[in-house]
Amino acid sequence: MPHLPPVTKAFMLACVGLFCAFLLLPPSLQLFFALWPVNSGNFLPWQPLTYAFLHGDVLHLFFNMLGLWMFGSELERVWGSKRYMQMLAASILSAAAMQLVFTLLIGSLSPTVGASGALFGLLLSFGMLFPDRIIMPLFPPIPMKAKYFVAIFGALELLMGLSGRSGIAHFAHLGGMLGAYLLIRYWRGSRRR
């Protein structure tokens, strides 16, 4: 297993540690940090950040941590810790913003948890930095270029988000991708000046 860079390691440890801690604490305490819709009466100003450290179950946590390890580790090594933290923050906050707008539009009162928005931002970043890198996804287990993998996942998220209520925050995932795209475009534009 390759060395985990410091920010990726800290984020993963925080997610796993909080998951374990909330197993021992009352479930109502976790809801204090989840991202509640603005119209729910439970929204608090820190939730657009804290929700990303919480996870609904072991599989949710496992797949998000696997993605962070697979994509985040390499991106942190390429960008360095400071720029990588900026990308994580942009993806987390843009995912939260997109989810808040979506829940307001559909009138949902359910909270959102998970680092998936950050993970989708990292996924898009990986596809933009290494578009021709061949990766082997778990589903489907077919080797493909990163740029195609990202495009397929983005399209699937949009289709699943538009198809109805599944209990998965598809628009948060898309929001994470949008935040990552905008930040990379900003970085590339400021480099040209």
d(CA 22, CA 19): 5
Annotated catalytic residue within 73, 116, 125, 170: 116
Task: Say what the pLDDT of residue 1 is.
Answer: 54
Task: Say what the pLDDT of residue 193 is.
Answer: 64
Residue 73: both structure tokens together: 């580790």
User: What's the pTM value of the predicted model, to 2 decimals?
Assistant: 0.94
Q: What kind of architecture, by CATH, is found in domain 6-192?
A: Up-down Bundle (1.20)
DSSP-assigned letter for residue 53? G
Planar angle of CA 180, 186, 189, nearest 5 degrees: 140
Sequence spans of domains, the chain: 6-192
**Residue 94 catalytic?**
no
Question: Is the C-alpha dihedral spanning 178, 148, 2, 113 positive or negative?
Answer: positive
Task: Say what the pLDDT of residue 139 is.
Answer: 73
Q: What is the mean pLDDT of each run of 10 residues along the chain (193 residues)?
A: 87 96 87 95 96 95 95 96 98 98 93 96 97 87 94 93 84 97 94 70
Going by C-alpha positions, the residue among 131, 26, 19 that lies closest to residue 64 is: 19
**Residue 60 catalytic?**
no
Task: Say what the pLDDT of residue 71 is.
Answer: 94
| Residues contacting 32, CB < 8 A, separation 6+ | 44
